Amino acid sequence: MDHRFFVDQPIQSNQVELDGAEAHHLLNVLRAGIGQQVTLFDGSGFEFQARVAQRERRRARLEIVDRIEVNRELSFSMVVGVALPKGDRQRWLVEKVVELGVTRLVPLITERGVNRPTDATLVRLRRTVVEASKQCGRTVMMEVCEAQPLQPFLHGAAENVLRIVAHPYRSATSTGPTQRPVRQADGQAVFIAVGPEGGFTEAEWQRACQAGWQPVDLGPRILRIETAALALVAALTL
């Protein structure tokens, strides 16, 4: 098994010190001995093969053996704006969009939204990005942005990118085909907007349409926030 560890500073020399949670995992969970080889990454798009050179109680020194450029990113940029769900569903959402290759996650402040992330929430979600990246092999970190009102998010996407907004056109009792196709040019950047429980208000829909966003119907069933977000991301990345 390839054990991966995140270094929160650019790796620029042939020696690296691990401390904090990463050192705890290396020393106390993995119980790595002198000479054991692991993989480091610093969010730069490179992986670094390293071996343990020195163990201390709460930190470890590693020597860089090799530096390899690794590209596991999408061929286009994908930004997801979403009214965050409650509790642990936030963490689950972040974990999965990291695995699917999303470039940036923007928590949206909407009229019906009840969750406005605090600084502590953002710290936890950014730590989830690290853990998910370690698991899935990404070498570039997904950005978790500060919360943003819907209006500036809608107008922050350039006209030449694919801009789609999750919109339940039909009620849960409707029948027949409901999903509308999404056409993306090769390499075209994507912005996605997903509303809170209860959806965007009519005024928010109107603003999205006036800004040139394409509403996309995800079917006759009522989806949770994280399900809708992942359905749209997966439809464009898998």
Give, in order, the Cα–Cα distances in Å from 219 to each of 100, 167, 177.
Answer: 21, 9, 7
> Number of C-alpha atoms within 13 angstroms, CB side, residue 20?
6
pLDDT at 180: 60
The DSSP letter of residue 26 is: I
Judgement on whether residues 96 and 209 belong to the same structural domain of the protein: yes
Judgement on whether residues 143 and 105 belong to the same structural domain of the protein: yes
Count how many domains the chain has: 2
Q: What is the pLDDT of residues 178-235, one digit of tens each?
A: 446 577 888 999 999 999 998 999 999 899 999 999 999 888 888 999 999 999 999 9
Q: What is the pLDDT of residues 205-218, one digit of tens each?
A: 899 999 999 999 88
Of 6, 88, 91, 86, the residue nearest 46 (C-alpha): 6
Q: Which residue range forms the structural domain that includes residue 36?
A: 4-69
pLDDT higher than 60, residue 116: yes
Determine the Cα–Cα distance for residues 171 and 187; give it in Å rounded to an integer: 34
- 143-144 and 60-69 as β-strands: parallel, antiparallel, unpaired? unpaired
pLDDT higher than 60, residue 1: no
Q: What is the pLDDT of residues 12-32, one digit of tens each?
A: 999 999 999 999 999 999 999
Judgement on whether residues 98 and 34 belong to the same structural domain of the protein: no
Average pLDDT over residues 40-48: 97
pLDDT at 107: 98
Of the residues 28, 49, 69, which one is the last residue of a structural domain? 69
